[in-house]
């Protein structure tokens, strides 16, 4: 049976790019219903999208429809997936608060199919805490979101806010239309984010980890039917839907939690940027500076537990373990050593000095290495796509 995708276009400069997306979906013999806000029609004409989709483009809440008795209800009932792309800050706010004052927003409220939201806007607008709160509200309702890309925006500012590549949006749509339950009944534990080691009650040492890769893995595994435990250090990200989220602070705490759950897991993936060292003697009170600023502070550091190595020592034959090797030199050589020393089945190697790879980026460039020494080098792609590739290999190992 042919599936129907609703494409909701809102008033952003990236609206013109959606013509390519509609064309790609039609080539896959999908039925596409395009809906446009008044603002979207300022950037691209409904006629263009009508020609590409082969259907009337729905724009006006009050236009009588020959196909549906009540247009917005009829459209909503026909959809297998609703995509909002580009999604402006204004329309995200409307969705988060249930406003229904035009054709597209009424379809959103009436819709019961999965929703994919693809934000695109100025960097400052995207980072505005109100916008982020609205996004988190929708994520908690089960909406799927794609992170914007970074680069030079139409306003001339360089930063996060660009519409993701059409190919990436297309892949996400196909994945949501054909959900894969190949991990149903399996329990996967993933660690993510950074870890923090206290210096005193106020200060701590940490690293650049944000949790993006680990959270993407958790989201992918959950979407494929797994029972997911996400053990995360501090991160600005919200936990994906249908994931058990355990927040931790230090490397020792993360290790203890993971050892506690290890025996109940089928797969463990170590994606966290775990701090290698902690403070030997944490000050009980805040350390003060001197008036003449003559004080020199020396911190004695001791090694933290190597979490994956500790888990590897206790590994049962039916447990699959995956690690990451974030390196700055001799990447493959160092990754192979970690694969053996930590008793892993698969390791994901990446050079964090490369542009588009490593910490705090929306993309990654990785090489997958298994115990047989086989290498799979992936090109630069979104962390969601990297996560899907890693989970694919885990399934093969299982």
Q: pLDDT tens for residues 245-281?
A: 999 999 999 999 999 999 999 999 999 999 999 999 9
The sign of the torsion formed by the CA atoms of 61, 130, 145, 17 equals positive
pLDDT class of 66 with cuts at 50, 70, 90: low
Percent of the chain with pLDDT over 70: 98
Residues 214 and 99 in one domain: no
Q: Write down the pLDDT at residue 69.
A: 63
Q: Are residues 42 and 137 in the same domain?
A: yes
Least confident of 145-154, 240-249, 369-378: 145-154
**Residues 267 and 362 occupy one common structural domain:** yes
What are the φ/ψ torsions at residue 222 (nearest 5 degrees)?
-65, -40
User: Do both 194 and 134 map to the same domain?
Assistant: no
CA angle (125 as vertex; 132, 388 as ends), nearest 5: 55
pLDDT value of residue 381: 86
CA distances to 45, 217, 252, 340, 357 from 314, rounded to whole Å, are 61, 23, 17, 14, 32
H-run or E-run covering 109: helix 103-110
Is residue 90 in some structural domain? yes
Express each pLDDT in 179-211 by its tens digit.
Answer: 778 999 999 999 999 999 999 999 999 999 999
Q: Are residues 31 and 146 in the same domain?
A: yes
Final residue of a structural domain among 132, 154, 177: 177
Structural domain range at position 319:
187-283+295-397
Q: Is the pLDDT of residue 24 over 70?
A: yes
User: Which among 285, 281, 277 is positioned nearest to 251, based on CA atoms?
Assistant: 277
Distance CA(63)–CA(46), nearest Å, equals 15
Q: What is the reported pLDDT for 290?
A: 81
Asked if the bond preceding 202 is cis, omega within 30° of 0, the reply is no
In sequence order, the β-bridge partners of residue 245 are 230
**DSSP symbol at 233:** -
In a shared domain, residues 168 and 194: no
Q: Which domain-ending residue is among 177, 203, 220? A: 177
CB atoms within 10 A of CB 290: 8
Active site residue 265: no
Instruction: Evaluate whether residue 321 is within a structural domain.
Output: yes
Annotated active-site residue in 155, 196, 255, 265: 155
Residue 390: other Cβ atoms inside 10 A:
24
Average pLDDT, stretch 142-161? Answer: 81
Pairing of strands 115-119, 4-9: unpaired
pLDDT at 349: 92
Structural domain count of the chain = 2
pLDDT value at residue 386: 92
Q: What is the mean pLDDT of residues 149-161?
A: 76
* Average pLDDT, rounded, for the chain: 91
343 and 247, same structural domain? yes
What is the domain-level CATH number for residue 203?
3.40.50.10300
**Domain assignment present for 290:** no
Give pLDDT, residue 172. 86
Are residues 209 and 100 part of one domain?
Answer: no
Using H for helix, E for strand and C for coil, what is the string for 118-139?
Answer: EECCCHHHHHCHHHHHHHHHHH
CATH code at position 72? 3.40.50.1950
Same domain for 191 and 173? no
Span 342-360, pLDDT tens digits: 999 999 998 888 887 777 7
In sequence order, what are the residues at sequence separation of 6 or more whose Cβ sits closer than 8 angstroms to the Cβ of residue 58?
33, 34, 35, 36, 71, 75, 103, 107
pLDDT tens digits for range 358-391: 777 888 899 999 999 999 999 988 888 899 999 9
Looking at the structure, do residues 238 and 356 belong to the same domain, yes or no? yes
Query: Would you say residue 65 has pLDDT above 80?
Result: no
- Long-range Cβ pairs for the range 151-156 (8 Å, 24+): 153/122, 153/123, 154/13, 154/14, 155/122
Question: Residue 161 — pLDDT band, cuts 50, 70, 90?
Answer: confident
Residue 357 has a pLDDT of 73
When pLDDT is averaged across residues 319-338 and rounded to a whole number, the result is 92
């Amino acid at each position: 049976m042919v599936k129907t995708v609703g494409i909701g276009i809102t008033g952003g400069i990236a609206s013109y790019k959606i013509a390519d997306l509609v064309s790609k979906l039609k080539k896959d013999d999908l039925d596409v219903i395009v809906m446009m806000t008044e603002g979207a029609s300022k950037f691209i004409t409904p006629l263009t999208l009508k020609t590409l989709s082969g259907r009337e483009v729905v724009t006006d809440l009050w236009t009588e429809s020959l196909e549906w008795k009540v247009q917005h209800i009829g459209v909503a009932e026909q959809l297998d997936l609703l995509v909002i792309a580009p999604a402006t800050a204004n329309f995200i706010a409307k969705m988060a608060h249930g406003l229904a004052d035009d054709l597209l927003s009424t379809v959103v409220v009436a819709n019961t199919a999965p929703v994919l939201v693809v934000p695109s806007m100025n960097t400052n607008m995207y980072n505005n805490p109100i916008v982020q709160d609205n996004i988190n509200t929708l994520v908690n309702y089960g909406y799927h979101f794609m992170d914007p890309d970074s680069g030079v925006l139409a306003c001339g500012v360089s930063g996060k806010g660009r519409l993701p590549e059409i190919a990436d949006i297309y892949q996400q749509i196909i994945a949501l239309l054909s959900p894969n339950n190949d991990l149903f009944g399996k329990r996967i534990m993933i660690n993510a984010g950074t870890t923090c080691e206290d210096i005193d009650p106020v200060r701590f040492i940490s690293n650049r980890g944000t949790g993006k890769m680990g959270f993407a893995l958790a989201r992918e595994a959950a979407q494929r039917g797994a029972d997911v435990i996400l053990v995360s250090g501090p991160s600005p990200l919200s936990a994906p839907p249908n994931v058990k989220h355990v927040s931790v602070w230090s490397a020792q705490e993360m290790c203890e939690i993971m050892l506690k759950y290890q025996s109940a897991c089928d797969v463990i993936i170590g994606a966290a940027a775990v701090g290698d060292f902690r403070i030997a003697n944490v000050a009980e009170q805040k350390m003060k500076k001197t008036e003449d600023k003559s004080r020199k502070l020396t911190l004695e550091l001791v090694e933290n537990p190597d979490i994956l190595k500790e888990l590897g020592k206790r590994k049962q034959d039916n447990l699959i373990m995956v690690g990451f090797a974030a390196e700055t030199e001799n990447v493959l050589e160092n990754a192979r050593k970690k694969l053996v020393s930590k008793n892993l089945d698969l390791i994901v190697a990446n050079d964090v000095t490369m542009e588009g790879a490593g910490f705090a980026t929306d993309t990654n460039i990785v090489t997958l290495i298994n115990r047989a020494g086989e290498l799979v080098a992936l090109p630069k792609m979104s962390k969601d796509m990297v996560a899907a590739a890693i989970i694919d290999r885990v399934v093969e190992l299982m």
